[in-house]
Amino acid sequence: MAYRVMPIYNIDRAVGEGEANLPHDVKLVQAMIAALAARAKTPNAPPNPPTVDGKFTRDLQQWILAFQTHVASFGAALRPDGIVHPLPMSSSPGDWKSKFTSGYTSTIYVLNVFLRDANSEEHDKIGKRLHLKERPLFPKAS
């Protein structure tokens, strides 16, 4: 039987201290973390979920690190560095991976999986709420 696993949200540039922190990328990370925070407690995270405003803050940094540390505590190969990188892509269009060549799993991938698993409707709504455009998996050649 055919089936759908999940859609994936991705960012253009890294979000974290000293990174590009493009407002639309920061907003996506904030929205995903806020949605997860509404469903379950993340140990060592700030008391309030991040505001979805596109501004990188120290609280968001702490949320990212707390999430990464929590997931890594279950044995996942997630590097708790406080940075969310775009999904690793190969040279082939649409060929994204969940892990980097270092062997570490992508934080944006794990955010997608956790949120989709916790509340698929909320995961779907984030794209609509933030007016995210869907990119084709295999873009047409120009």
Tokens describing residue 129: 């709420």
Count of H-run helices and E-run strands, the chain: 4, 0
DSSP string covering 42-85? -TT--SSPPPSSS---HHHHHHHHHHHHHHHTTT-----SS-BP
Q: What is the pLDDT of residue 82?
A: 97
pLDDT tens sequence across 78-133: 999 999 999 887 666 556 668 788 888 999 999 999 999 999 999 999 999 999 88
User: Where do the domains of the chain lie?
Assistant: 23-129
For the entire predicted model, the pTM comes to: 0.90
**62 with 45: CB under 8 angstroms?**
yes
